[in-house]
């Protein structure tokens, strides 16, 4: 008798335009799994009830995105160390009747970064023990990125429009004070010549965001102060080339948008639900096709 279809939800509000259903649908199909991934619009008042349903079959778990990543934390039976440290859950995994909150954003970010550093086989973490990183922004995405970079041994500087928020981020992540510190925009000129990676985690440059045509916190001339070996990463992937990536590319710097992070955080979530190795190239093709349809 065929087994009834397993299900994974994406909890979002609103639930439009995500590439995750395409990525995970393709991954389930590639592995021959009878499972469905479906984005659902969950209003904040309904969140607890929907999460409660995930504790039973046919659910393998869920992804969680804006605005629910922090709100689901107290609804979990257990948290992974990363989810607890970051204070946010992007992946819920059902274990029997218990819900485990994971955060795969940080690992996804590092695995995407590894594609730029060519330091090992695909899917292995980059060696960042002597890297200096400048993180632009101090919101939810920045928390996962700073935690991951500091955990990988990098020396991390955080700059944000709201300096208080950056201070709170560094304190609350409780990484060692040597690993992460806050820097003022005015002091960026001193820092940039020794910076290996610049990472934009703000929504500046995102189509439909607050400032689609702008640069996040740094000026185009600042990019001249970076060493030629510096890499510039933007977590934004719509558009594929943000104003920051265009300016960095014009200076000959190696760049990466947010698609590799999206793919790898999805791969790690897939592995947590299924216990199987994620078909990353299938997921990448699905995400790239989906993005081309939206933007093309």
Active site residues: 69
State yes or no: residue 172 binds ligand ATR (CB under 6 A).
no
> How far apart (Å, rounded) are the C-alpha atoms in residues 144 and 124?
18
With H, G, I as helix, E, B as strand and everything else as coil, classify residue 295. helix
List the one residue out of 27, 12, 14 whose CA is nearest residue 283: 27
Least Å from the CB of residue 96 to ligand ATR:
31
Query: At closest approach, how far in Å is the CB of 138 from ligand ATR?
Result: 5
Closest residue to ligand ATR in the complex (CB): 139
Instruction: Please identify, among the stretches 32-40, 208-216, 274-282, 283-291, the one whose residues bind ligand ATR according to the rule CB under 6 A.
Output: 208-216
The correct pick among 20, 195, 202, 257 for binding ligand ATR (CB under 6 A) is 202
We find the least distance from the C-beta atom of residue 136 to ligand ATR, in angstroms, to be 8
Element (H, E) at 134: strand 132-136
Which CA distances in Å does 104 have to 5, 35, 228, 256, 267?
25, 21, 31, 19, 9
Measured between alpha carbons, how far is 182 from 166 in angstroms, rounded to an integer? 6
Stretch that binds ligand ATR, among 51-59, 155-163, 180-188, 248-256 (CB under 6 A): 155-163
Among 13, 161, 251, 289, binds ligand ATR (CB under 6 A): 161
Does 58 sit behind a cis peptide bond, omega within 30 degrees of 0 on the bond before it? yes
CA dist 169 and 198 (Å) reads 18
Nearest distance from residue 69's CB to ligand ATR, in Å?
7
Query: Is residue 160 close enough to count as binding ligand ATR by CB under 6 A?
Result: yes
Does 138 engage in binding with ligand ATR (CB under 6 A)?
yes
Q: Is 29 left (phi over 0), alpha (psi -120 to 50) or beta?
A: alpha
Which spans of this chain sit near ligand ATR (rule: CB under 6 A)?
Answer: 137-142, 160-162, 165, 201-204, 210-211, 216-217
């Amino acid at each position: 008798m065929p087994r009834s279809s397993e299900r994974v939800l994406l909890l979002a509000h609103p639930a439009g335009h995500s590439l995750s259903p395409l990525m995970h649908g393709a991954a389930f199909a590639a592995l021959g799994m009878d499972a469905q991934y479906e984005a659902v619009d969950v209003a904040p008042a309904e969140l607890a009830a929907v999460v409660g349903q995930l504790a039973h079959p046919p659910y393998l778990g869920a992804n969680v995105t804006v605005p629910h990543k922090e709100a689901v934390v107290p609804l979990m039976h257990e948290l992974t160390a990363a989810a607890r440290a970051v204070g946010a859950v992007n992946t819920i995994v059902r274990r029997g009747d218990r819900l485990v909150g994971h955060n795969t954003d940080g690992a996804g970010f590092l695995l995407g970064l590894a594609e730029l550093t060519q330091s090992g086989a695909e899917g292995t973490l980059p060696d960042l023990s002597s890297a200096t990183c400048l993180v632009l922004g101090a919101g939810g995405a920045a928390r996962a990125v700073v935690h991951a970079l500091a955990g990988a041994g990098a020396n991390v500087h955080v700059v944000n429009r709201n300096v208080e928020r950056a201070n709170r981020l560094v304190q609350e992540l409780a990484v060692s004070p040597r690993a992460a510190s806050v820097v003022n925009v005015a002091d960026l000129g001193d820092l940039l010549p020794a910076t290996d990676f610049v990472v934009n985690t703000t929504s500046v440059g995102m189509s439909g965001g607050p400032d689609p045509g702008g640069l996040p916190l740094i000026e185009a001339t600042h990019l001249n102060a970076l060493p030629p070996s510096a890499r510039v990463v933007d977590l934004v992937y719509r558009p594929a080339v943000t104003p920051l990536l265009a300016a960095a590319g014009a200076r000959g710097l190696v760049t990466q948008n947010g698609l590799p992070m999206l793919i790898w955080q999805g791969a790690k979530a897939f592995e947590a639900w299924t216990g199987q190795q994620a078909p990353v190239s299938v997921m990448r093709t699905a995400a790239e096709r989906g993005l081309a349809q939206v933007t093309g």
